[in-house]
Every structure is written in C-alpha cells, then in structure tokens.
C-alpha cells in the first residue's frame, strides 16, 4: 500500500537531489550538486496489460563520468515479488534508455535494509544468469544528524536522515536537534521542511514527538491531516459551533445573526491565537466589534495564512460606528 511515508521516502529525490550525496560518496563520484539530474518517467509497463511502476526514476549526468539511470524504491518492509520486479526494472530501464542503471532501496529499519541489499539472483542449478544488488540507503548507510549546523546547511539531508532513522532508539534526540536547527530558517523554509518531515513520519511513533516540536505554520500538504491543518480547522469549527449555539440561544433571527457574527469573530481570534500570533487589544476589538458576516468569513479564511494580525485589515476600512453599536 502506498503511504505518505513511502511517497516522501522516494519523492524527496525528485526535488532535492542533494539527498543523493551518500550514494555519490560511496561510489567515489563528484557530489550531486555538480551533476545534471533529470526526472524521467517511472513507467515500466509493457504492451501487455501488466503494469509495473518504479517509485522514482532519474537520469544522472555527473560532471565527471558516465551518465546513468537512478531508480529509487522506498521499502518500509520486506515484500514478496521484489526479487522478480527489481531485476526487471533494472533490465527494462537499461534497455529503454541505453544507460547503466543503479537501483536504490530506501529502508528505515535494519532488517528490511538487510533483505533489500540482496543479492537477488536468477539461477538455474549452479548458474546465475542475472544478479541484482540494490544500493541500500538505511540506518547503517545514512548517518544520523548530530550537528545543528548540518540541519541549517543541508535541510534535505537532515530531513531524509530523520525519516530513515525514524525507528531508531535515538529518534527523539534526533528530532529535538532538527527542531533546534530549523530555528535558523526563514519562516516559509521552516514550514516546508517541518511539515515534509511530519508527512514522512506518518505511521511511526516519532510523528507524535515531532508534532509536539513543530511551530504553527500554514499547510503545504493540504488533506494530509497535519497538525497545522487540524489546528486551523479546529479553530474554525469551534468558532462556527459557538456562533450557532449563541444564535439559537437568542431565539430570534436578529439574535441568531448577532450570535453567528460573535461566533465567527471568536473563530478568527482562536485561529490567530493557536498559530501563536500576537493579537493586540485594538485588533481584538475590531474583530469582535464586526457584524459583517462576509467580512468575518474572509478574515476567518485568511487567519490561517497571514504572518501578522495587521495583515487581516490591509485595505479594509473601519466599520461604521452605528454597526459597532449594534453589537
């Protein structure tokens, strides 16, 4: 089954080829920063109705040396059929692109990594017609990050390392170090890497540890149920519920409208507060003193994205005094 952890473990190579550094170092090649990396189709389907798909396929053109195809497979556990599929991927991609192929398996526990290293042999009697030896990126080949400076300098490697070591006994210390290292990032960068890590830790106990360490940010991965997304919608739902409750208590149409406005205003303030934004007395009074439901809806939508509370009111004139007195 494809999970967020599975997707993160191989897709990070597509956007951040610097994660390939351990492979280049092991092969004695120039660092990936000096190489041309091109995303290629992962489709390895034949004309027959049998679909095979590699997780990620990249064409690598080193600054010094022969070009090759890199096939990345994220493997969270031992899986039947890989001893057949992996050799097929290597043979197919070599035939399709006319380049040598390096198959990389990303594993986060040692038993899976030991299995994924193979070799996987096609043998008749004592004769081996084909042998496939994946290059494994796992707990023994990807170093743990132990220096905050590395986090600041190489966030992709640091994040990838934390995912690979997510089942390590030292994962809590690793995550605390990662959180401290991310303090040097600008806000958008910190938001991106912290949430990418949360998605990568999806089905591990380490995810809850990381959720406690994260700061309130806007979601880059909508629909994934991250702490940022949950907090925003929790605040909004609470505000709407309070508005409905107050409206029902009023018992009249006018009272219900007033109750909805109050509830929406409380929702706006709730979202701002859980995001850690400072709400001045003037801003609080302006929000709670508003009875324009459309304007409150707009503020509620934007409360999850603004960097400062004052941005809510940019270009918006004050409401008439009569409207405020109606509250």
**Residues 5-50: tens digit of each pLDDT:** 555 666 677 777 777 787 778 877 777 766 676 776 666 555 454 4
d(CA 176, CA 185): 15
Parallel, antiparallel or unpaired: strands 135-137 and 127-132: unpaired
pTM of the model: 0.58
27-41, 124-138, 153-167, 246-260: lowest mean pLDDT where?
246-260
Q: Which residue has the higher pLDDT, 67 or 188?
A: 67
Residue 51 is predicted with a pLDDT of 55
Q: Where are the domains of the chain?
A: 4-137, 148-215, 229-325
- Asked whether the predicted pLDDT for residue 280 surpasses 90, the reply is no
Name the maximum alpha-carbon separation found in the chain: 93
Q: How large is the average pLDDT for residues 277-305?
A: 83
| Residue at token pair 């556990």 | 77
8 A C-beta contact, residue 68 and residue 34: no
Residue 310 has pLDDT above 80, yes or no: yes
Look up tokens 């290293």; give the residue.
117
Q: Which residue has the higher pLDDT, 285 or 36?
A: 285
Query: Residue 231: which residues within 8 A CB-CB, separation 6 or more?
Result: 216, 271, 274, 275
What does the pLDDT read at residue 222? 52
Q: What is the pLDDT of residue 297?
A: 80
Q: Percent helix, strand, coil in the chain (nearest 5)? A: 55, 10, 35
The mean pLDDT value for 218-244 works out to: 61
For residue 324, name the pLDDT band (cuts at 50, 70, 90): very low
DSSP secondary structure string for all residues of 67-123 = -EEEEEEE-SS--TTHHHHHHHHHHHHHHHHSS-EEEEEE-SSHHHHHHHT--EEEE
Q: Are 273 and 309 in contact (CB under 8 A)?
A: no
Q: What is the pLDDT of residue 289?
A: 87
Instruction: List the one residue out of 130, 164, 277 whose CA is nearest residue 217.
Output: 277
Is 191 a residue whose pLDDT tops 50? yes
Could you tell me if 113 and 107 are in contact, meaning their C-beta atoms sit under 8 angstroms apart?
Answer: yes
Report how far residue 99's alpha carbon sits from residue 186's, in angstroms, rounded to the nearest whole number.
40
- Give the residue with greater pLDDT, 290 vs 2: 290
Specify the pLDDT at position 133.
95
Q: Which residue has the higher pLDDT, 69 or 256?
A: 69
């Amino acid at each position: 089954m494809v999970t967020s952890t599975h997707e993160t473990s191989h897709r990070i190579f597509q956007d951040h080829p610097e994660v390939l550094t351990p492979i280049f170092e092991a092969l004695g090649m120039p660092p990936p920063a000096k190489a041309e990396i091109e995303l290629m189709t992962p489709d390895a389907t034949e004309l027959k109705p049998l679909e095979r798909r590699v997780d990620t396929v990249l064409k690598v053109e080193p600054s010094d040396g022969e070009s090759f195809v890199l096939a990345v497979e994220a493997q969270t556990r031992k899986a039947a059929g890989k001893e057949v599929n992996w050799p097929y991927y290597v043979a197919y991609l070599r035939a399709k692109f006319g380049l040598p192929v390096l198959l990389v398996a990303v594993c986060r526990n040692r038993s899976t990594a030991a299995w994924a290293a193979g070799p996987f042999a096609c043998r008749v009697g004592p004769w081996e017609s084909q042998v496939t030896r994946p290059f494994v990126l796992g707990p023994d080949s990807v170093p743990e990050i132990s220096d905050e400076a590395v986090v600041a300098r190489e966030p992709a490697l640091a994040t990838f390392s934390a995912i690979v070591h997510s089942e390590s006994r030292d994962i809590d210390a690793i995550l605390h170090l990662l959180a401290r290292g991310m303090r040097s990032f600008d806000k958008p960068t910190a938001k991106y890497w912290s949430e990418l890590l949360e998605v990568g830790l999806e089905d591990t106990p380490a995810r809850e540890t990381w959720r406690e360490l994260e700061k309130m940010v806007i979601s880059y991965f909508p629909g994934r149920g991250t702490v940022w997304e949950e907090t925003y919608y929790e605040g909004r739902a609470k505000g709407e519920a309070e508005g409905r409750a107050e409206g029902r208590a009023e018992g009249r149409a006018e009272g219900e409208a007033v109750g909805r406005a109050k509830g929406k205003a409380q929702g706006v303030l709730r979202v701002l507060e859980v995001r850690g934004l400072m709400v001045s007395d003037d801003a609080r009074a302006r929000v709670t003193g508003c009875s324009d439901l459309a304007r409150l809806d707009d503020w509620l939508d934007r409360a999850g994205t603004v960097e400062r509370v004052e941005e809510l009111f940019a270009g918006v004139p004050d409401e008439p005094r009569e409207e405020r007195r109606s509250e």
